[in-house]
Structure 1
Amino acid sequence: MAPFDDLPSPSLPELTARRIAGVYFAFGVLWILFSDAIVYLFVSDPRTRFRIEATKGGLFVVISALLVYGLTARAHERQRETTQRLRQQTRELSILHRIVRHNLRNIATVIGGRVETARDADEVEPHLEVLERKADRLATLAEKANLLRGVSAQSADHRVEQDLSRAITDICAQYRSDYPDATIAFDGPENLRTLVPARLGFAITELLENAVVHGGPGATVTIELTADSEAIRVVVADDGPGLPDSERTAVKGDVEDVLAHSEGVGLWLVRLIVEKAGGRLSVSESSLSGTAVTLSVPRIDDDRS
């Protein structure tokens, strides 16, 4: 999605055993060379020099022990974080596998049934329309599964600098073109340039698409963007009949609820993007007598700007 380009985030080098040994070796060599050179340059008395050398040796042991402790502690912390991240990714991908498998089984059942029915039918056009919709559903499911895999592998603090107001304006313009019978309004500041969670564009797009599609022909949808020093909030409201149970479950339910009502893959993916960024997703009744979904994420500005 153009308004939300996925940029690489900086990461610290891994502290392997070889690197720890290299740091310790370099520190030891530099300590010996420079400290000995200073002692021999400024101290000429052998006894004084001996006492300084003994003190320097003890100081070297203490400092080197602290250095090794710090390096190994950091390495263990990085290992712990990596292990925790891998466990979370494994859980997310396991859920993805179960959701996709469930949807594929349902779609395959419908396709198989329609094909069998169409063999003996005089009019096949209605069956072809259903098959076409299910083919589109398969393509969408594959796209979202691939995106979910990327979100799962992405670090929680991965953010990109964007003008959020401009990005949402572009998204609204695209959907006005795709759904000319819908009324889509955006209310927010003229510009809001800040660091936003990567793939936030997909989350907003998915909320807008759900509102437009479930709202039916002539739907009215509003997007409200607000921000303060603590958080960024996006509210997508519509005048539709309300969020279907499967979609509401994807926003508010636990993992097993999502697996039992797994048609809401898109909204579950939105929830994962938001929660991974330390935010939250909530559902309420909108002022348009429909549904309002509120997306809230912590605000982090670039200190360099």
Structure 2
Amino acid sequence: MLGDAGAQVVRLSDVTQTERQRRQLAEREIELNEQNELYRGVIDASFGFVFRIDEQGRFTFASPSVAEFLGYSPAELEGEPVSVLLPNEATVERAWDEIEPIFDGERNLVQDFPLETKAGPTVFTDVRGVPIYRGSVPADERTTDDIVGIQLMVRDATKRREREGLISVINRVLRHNMRNKMGIITGYAGILEGRLSGEDAEKATKIKDTADQLLDLTESAQRLDEYRELSPELEPIDIAPMLEDTVSELRMQFPEASVTVDAPDTVVADTHERLKTALWEVVENAAKHGGDPPDVEVDVTVTEAGVVIAVRDNGPGIPEIEQDVLQSTVETPLVHGEGLGLWLIHWIVTSLNGELETTAGDEGTTVTIRLPKTS
């Protein structure tokens, strides 16, 4: 009898332990569901939909919102290769070029990537990809061997692409027409300048100079359009030769200017070749708007934080309204600059993860470019 009673106690203990485990599992499931809902809410707020793909490039998950955007239900996509959403072979090759670095442990962001809807039309998306690691491996022990797939977070970029395409066309047409018309004005103003004398010749010169300024404006607008979507793509570059070429060109175009340079023989910064455009805009602006004659000083220093390039002139300074535009990076009907040179410098420097600062005083203006240190 005692043996039966002991067995009964053991069996009751087993039941109690099993019930405890069942309750713990149920509580854990509720907690995971709450976390998943929070996660889905964040994803829905930040992205249009989410995919997961395995190492073979097949969909293992698609969020429900994919149906509204691409016309496929999640069930239709799961198990299918990514090529089912890609409009042509070139896009398939591009997709794998972007996917492979993620399987090497990198994160990736691709803009304006085309996807084909179930109905046929192509839409454009911004896609952020991150690796998915095997859950059983602790985060601090993970290697690329533990990557089992990729998560792709997708946002609709079609309307932005259409809007930017329209803006680009308008800009090209306006620049083309402006160059043609200003060329005619400059030509006739030059003829009048040579034939007239006194106050009339001065007026012709004013017309010609104003037309030249507008032509410079169209050229700056073109360069802004070229650089506006550039990603950093930074790498260590010795900018000393770049600076030397820029200063040599300045001395050729502005022989009346006094140009001094104080810089180390080697100056390595994390940057890009397009920095040369920004440097030219800065020194050219200093020579054009400096004193009479212009005095341009270029100082380059290397600090623990990076590289600092300071260009000083002896001119009257940058108009306050121009500085307001640069500080706010927004133009309004009441706040706008007459030129785009400073905008171009700002755009390039910030695209290089750098900083731009302008200071004006009684003795002239200093434009300072700060570039990040080499990694």
Q: Give the TM-score, by structure 2 length.
A: 0.49
Tell me: CA distance 1:271–1:181, structure 2 relative to 1, closer, same or farther (3 Å). Answer: same
- CA offsets per residue over residues 191-245 of structure 1, 9 Å max, x none? 1234313411111111111111111331111111112342221111112111123
Q: 1:12 corresponds to which residue?
A: none
Q: 1:293 corresponds to which residue?
A: 367
Counterpart check, 1:243 vs 2:318:
yes
- Asked if the contact 2:269/2:307 (under 8 Å) is kept, the reply is no
Counterparts of 1:147 and 1:180 in 2: how far apart (Å)? 26
Counterparts of 2:261 and 2:332 in 1: how far apart (Å)? 32
The counterpart of 2:257, out of the listed 182, 186, 199, is 182
Tell me: CA distance 1:126–1:19, structure 2 relative to 1, closer, same or farther (3 Å). Answer: farther
Q: 2:290 corresponds to which residue?
A: 215
Tell me: CA distance 1:129–1:122, structure 2 relative to 1, closer, same or farther (3 Å). Answer: closer
Structure 1: which 5+ residue stretches go unaligned? 1-15, 29-59
- CA offsets per residue over residues 29-70 of structure 1, 9 Å max, x none? xxxxxxxxxxxxxxxxxxxxxxxxxxxxxxx9x99xx967x4
Q: Give the TM-score, by structure 1 length.
A: 0.59
Counterparts of 1:300 and 1:258 in 2: how far apart (Å)? 40
Q: 2:71 corresponds to which residue?
A: none
Kindly report which structure 2 residues correspond to 1:1-305, keeping only aligned pairs within 5 A, or say none: 22-24=56-58, 70-71=149-150, 73=151, 75-76=152-153, 79-80=154-155, 83=157, 90=164, 125-126=201-202, 128-155=204-231, 157-159=232-234, 161-257=236-332, 260-285=335-360, 289-301=363-375
Greater shift after overlay, 202-211 or 244-253? 244-253
Structure 2: which 5+ residue stretches go unaligned? 1-49, 60-78, 80-133, 138-145
Counterparts of 1:259 and 1:204 in 2: how far apart (Å)? 29
Letter in 2 for 1:292: T
Tell me: CA distance 1:256–1:169, structure 2 relative to 1, closer, same or farther (3 Å). Answer: same
Counterparts of 2:259 and 2:306 in 1: how far apart (Å)? 24
Greater shift after overlay, 125-134 or 289-298? 125-134
Counterparts of 2:349 and 2:234 in 1: how far apart (Å)? 12
Counterparts of 2:51 and 2:282 in 1: how far apart (Å)? 47
Counterparts of 1:258 and 1:169 in 2: how far apart (Å)? 40
Tell me: CA distance 1:212–1:122, structure 2 relative to 1, closer, same or farther (3 Å). Answer: closer
Tell me: CA distance 1:153–1:258, structure 2 relative to 1, closer, same or farther (3 Å). Answer: farther
Q: Could you tell me the percent identity over the aligned residues?
A: 28
Moved over 4 A (4+): 16-21, 121-128
- Asked if the contact 1:160/1:198 (under 8 Å) is kept, the reply is no
- Asked if the contact 1:195/1:299 (under 8 Å) is kept, the reply is yes
Counterparts of 1:142 and 1:170 in 2: how far apart (Å)? 24
Greater shift after overlay, 172-181 or 255-264? 255-264
Q: CA RMSD in A?
A: 4.5
- Asked if the contact 2:237/2:268 (under 8 Å) is kept, the reply is yes
Name which structure has the greater RCO, CA cutoff 8 Å, separation 6+: 1
Tell me: CA distance 1:23–1:259, structure 2 relative to 1, closer, same or farther (3 Å). Answer: farther
- CA offsets per residue over residues 174-201 of structure 1, 9 Å max, x none? 1112112211111111112343134111
Counterparts of 1:193 and 1:141 in 2: how far apart (Å)? 32
- CA offsets per residue over residues 75-125 of structure 1, 9 Å max, x none? 21xx45x959x68x959x68x95xx79xx6xx98xx69x99xx8xx97675
Letter in 1 for 2:364: G
Instruction: Identify the structure with the greater strand proportion.
Output: 2
Q: Secondary structure at the match of 1:185?
A: strand
Number of residues paired by the alignment?
A: 230
Q: 2:129 corresponds to which residue?
A: none
Greater Cα radius of gyration, structure 1 or 2:
2
